[in-house]
Amino acid sequence: MMISDGIEDEEKWLAEGIAGIQHNAFYLHRALDSNNLREVLKYSAQLLSELRTSKLSPHKYYELYMRVFDELRRLEMFFKDEDRHGCPVVDLYELVQHAGNILPRLYLLCTVGSVYIKSKEAPAKDVLKDLVEMCHAVQHPIRGLFLRSYLTQISRDKLPDIASDYEGEGDTFMDAVEFVLQNFAEMNKLWVRMQHQGPMREKEKLDKERNELRDLVGKNLHVLSQIEGVDLEIYRDIILPRVLEQVVNCKDELAQYYLMDCIIQVFPDEYHLQTLETLLGACPQLQSAVDIKTVLSGLMERLSNYAASSPEVLPEFLQVEAFTKLSNAIGKVIEAQVDMPVVGAISLYVSLLTFTLHVHPDRLDYVDQVLGACVRKLSGKAKLEDSRVTKQVVALLSAPLEKYDDVVTALTLSNYPRVMDHLDAATNKIMAMVIIQSIMRNSTSVSTSDKVEVLFELIKGLIKDMDGTSTDDLDEEDFKEEQNSVARLMHMVYNDDPEEMLTIINTVWKHIMAGGPKRLPFTVPPLVFSALKLVRKLLGQDGDVAGEEAPANPKKIFQLLNQIIEALSIVPSPELALRLYLQCAEAANDCDLEPVAYEFFTQAFVLYEEEVADSRAQVTAIHLIIGTLQRMNVFGVENRDTLTHKATGCGAYHASLIPMGLNRRSTLRLMRVGEGKLIRVLLCLKRSLRIANAAQQMVNVTRGSSGPVTLFVEILNKYLYFFEKGSPQITTAAIQGLVELIKTEMQSDSTTSNPSSDAFFASTLRYIQFQKQKGGAMGEKYDPIKL
């Protein structure tokens, strides 16, 4: 009974078998045509003898079987037509048992049995019982399996089911169930026995061959599921226990895996829900090599889909305590299978979590429980390095984020951060980004300081250097993307209540302050602006701006702001800090806090004088300082003068150091400061002219510069500005004089023409012309000026 070796040999044997069948079929057909029962029986028995071979693998045996099957169909038709052979079926049933060899005898018997049942001359149940027991005589696995498979096939439509033709007195669907169960049990035994057929070294080949036959066994379960009379009770009390008994007792991993899966796929989800305990109870009893987690995952997936498609059954899930049972079962399996790798356990939990999110999304305690189980599984181990496990853990953590639109819900799960702690640094950051993206995508707002605390703990991998890593290792682009995400996130953190908002701001600051010089330039600005928005909100409230006793008042916030901006000095980021100080100064101005505003200005000036090095940056800084100063109305005369003087000084400080082009405009801007301080205005203008003249000298040295002309036109425009504002120092004569000066300069040989300054002058003249033509007071003012 050895399974055959060499493929070539097998082909030869198969060919021989087929030839044998064809040979006998020829004579069989002749016998059928002449209605010669004796000959028919003789040749059909010979034909069937080809199936007695033990030399073929299942795959090849199947080919032989199919040919035989076709012939048996003809045979059955012949048997059915008593007119053709004149033998009553009851006698036929007797007759065929005289066939010489057992296998052909049984095939013939089953074929006649089919006709017998159809004739209704005997109760179906009796015939079926007889057949299923007689088949016992064939114990060779492959031959036996195919024989019984034949029995299954021909009996399918003849089972005594409810409302079938074969239901009768004492002939019920229970008998059908009994028949199928028996056939199934025997087939399973044969199937399991196959594994002992070959030498151990051929185990892989054996398993493959066995797998080819598995559907023959599984078919019985299909048939059971189709029996109409079977309801939940029958399934629960009779079918499932019997099938599971077979599954557990056969102690064969291949069979166990396949059959568990088959049960789950074939019977309705409704049944599984109600028999969960029994089904799950079998799991720990299975062989340890069985991939039970795949089976369980399959079950959970089916149940999830069931819940999703029929929401009305959800209460049932609760009633049968599905979650608890599944959870316990998984726990037991993991415990029992000590060799199960971590990735297996985690993937089980992922399936359970998916199930929970589908079926009990409101039960956050369940979700947290699953995460807790993972934490226990992962604890005691070093940080995860296996990428498969990491992938599973990320899937685990992402599932709640995807399910709950309000990501904040996921944040309240106490075990969530604990699971994250087990990820390696790189994956931890990836997960943090997933969390941030989820919040941004759903426009969730995180509105209490507790939740903010949890959130920033979760993303701590992005906020600061974790053990063993440093920002130097990072790709710059990636790092920027990370930090910009954190910055954007800070705008999602908000509460209407000022006190709570201030607590939130303090919480965020506590976390980001440890970020180090590389991170602060990204994280400080959004926090500063959050705080400034809070200040403005407090201003907008009815009644007095909160007094100093109130927990959230502008003064406190400005103190905090000072601290936050100060931290930029470790980067160092003087330009950014300067801008932020000026923003604070403006806000303090709006709050009427003169000393606070003054202090911020002082800080800004210190940075300007000591830290801002690049000349272009200095010009921008001066613009910002002057622009802000111009808007200040909180300062008393003394403070205002001091600051204006400093600003002018800053401009003058550069007179000798900065290239001309940049300097002149700074000085001109100074005029905006101190409306009404006309003498100062004049001083600035005069200084500008002096500088312009100095520039003129430089022209003679460096050819090709038309700097002075442009500068003069600018000054002319400034003159017009103050002239219109009514400054008595600017006379029409002064204006006229400057116009003439410009014209002269433009026509002079030493000046190279500059189209932009030409255009500027032209448009200025147009403007003057326009003002003259305006009429009224403006026209009168401009009248003395001749163009």
The residues binding another protein (CB under 8 A) are 440, 480-481, 484, 487-489, 491-492, 522, 525-526, 529, 532-533, 536, 540, 579, 583, 586-587, 620, 623-624, 626-628, 630-631, 665, 669, 672, 713-714, 717-718, 721, 724, 756, 759-760, 762-764, 766-767, 770
Cβ nearer to another protein, comparing 533 with 680: 533
Cβ nearer to another protein, comparing 274 with 589: 589
Q: How many helices (H) and strands (E) does the chain have?
A: 40, 0
Least Å from the CB of residue 567 to another protein: 16
Least Å from the CB of residue 719 to another protein: 11
Question: Which own/partner contact pairs does 683-687 have at CB distance under 8 Å and 24+ positions apart?
Answer: 684/648, 685/715, 685/718, 685/719, 687/652, 687/655
Cβ nearer to another protein, comparing 442 with 732: 442
Cβ nearer to another protein, comparing 170 with 540: 540
Cβ nearer to another protein, comparing 84 with 665: 665
Q: Which amino acid is at 478?
A: D
Task: Give the length of the chain.
Answer: 787
Cβ nearer to another protein, comparing 46 with 583: 583
Least Å from the CB of residue 737 to another protein: 20
Q: Is the torsion defined by CA of 295, 296, 298, 302 positive or negative?
A: positive
Helix (H, G, I), strand (E, B) or coil at 455: helix
Least Å from the CB of residue 681 to another protein: 13
Cβ nearer to another protein, comparing 477 with 749: 477
Cβ nearer to another protein, comparing 484 with 693: 484
Least Å from the CB of residue 786 to another protein: 18
Other C-beta atoms within 10 Å of 429: how many?
20
Least Å from the CB of residue 385 to another protein: 33
Q: DSSP states of 548-567 as a string?
A: TTSSS-HHHHHHHHHHHHHG
On whether the CB atoms of residues 489 and 544 are closer than 8 A, the answer is: no
Residues forming a β-bridge with 493: 446
Q: DSSP states of 324-349 as a string?
A: HHHHHHHHHHHHH-TT--HHHHHHHH
On whether the CB atoms of residues 209 and 59 are closer than 8 A, the answer is: yes
Q: Is the torsion defined by CA of 269, 270, 271, 273 positive or negative?
A: positive
Least Å from the CB of residue 420 to another protein: 23
**Short-list 710, 693, 702, CA closest to 761:** 710
Q: DSSP states of 468-507 as a string?
A: T--GGGS-HHHHHHHHHHHHHHGGGB--SSHHHHHHHHHH
Instruction: Give, to the nearest 10 degrees, the angle between helix 342-359 and helix 292-309.
Output: 10
Least Å from the CB of residue 211 to another protein: 53
Cβ nearer to another protein, comparing 162 with 759: 759
Q: What is the DSSP letter of 725?
A: T
Cβ nearer to another protein, comparing 562 with 620: 620
Other C-beta atoms within 10 Å of 318: how many?
12
Cβ nearer to another protein, comparing 559 with 763: 763
Least Å from the CB of residue 633 to another protein: 12
Least Å from the CB of residue 626 to another protein: 6
Cβ nearer to another protein, comparing 67 with 665: 665
Burial class of residue 719 (count of CB atoms within 10 Å of its CB; 0-12, 13-18, 19+): buried
Residues forming a β-bridge with 171: 168
Instruction: Give, to the nearest 10 degrees, the angle between helix 141-155 and helix 173-193.
Output: 160
Least Å from the CB of residue 400 to another protein: 23
Least Å from the CB of residue 333 to another protein: 45
Cβ nearer to another protein, comparing 228 with 724: 724
Cβ nearer to another protein, comparing 71 with 590: 590
Cβ nearer to another protein, comparing 209 with 714: 714
- Paired tokens of 296: 């369980």
In sequence order, which residues have a C-beta less than 8 Å from that of residue 718 and are 6 or more positions away? 668, 671, 685
Cβ nearer to another protein, comparing 53 with 757: 757
DSSP H or E run through 250: none
Least Å from the CB of residue 763 to another protein: 4
CA atoms within 13 A on the CB side of 620: 11
Burial class of residue 456 (count of CB atoms within 10 Å of its CB; 0-12, 13-18, 19+): buried
Cis, peptide link before residue 708, omega less than 30° from 0: no
- Paired tokens of 89: 């079926």
Other C-beta atoms within 10 Å of 170: how many?
9
Q: Is the torsion defined by CA of 618, 621, 623, 626 positive or negative?
A: negative
In sequence order, which residues have a C-beta less than 8 Å from that of residue 8 and are 6 or more positions away? none
Cβ nearer to another protein, comparing 313 with 571: 571
On whether the CB atoms of residues 640 and 674 are closer than 8 A, the answer is: yes
Least Å from the CB of residue 491 to another protein: 4
Q: How far apart are CA 293 and CA 345, in angstroms?
A: 8
Q: How far apart are CA 145 and CA 155, in angstroms?
A: 15
Least Å from the CB of residue 547 to another protein: 22
> Assign residue 211 a region: left if phi > 0, alpha if psi is -120 to 50, beta otherwise?
alpha
Least Å from the CB of residue 769 to another protein: 10
Least Å from the CB of residue 630 to another protein: 5
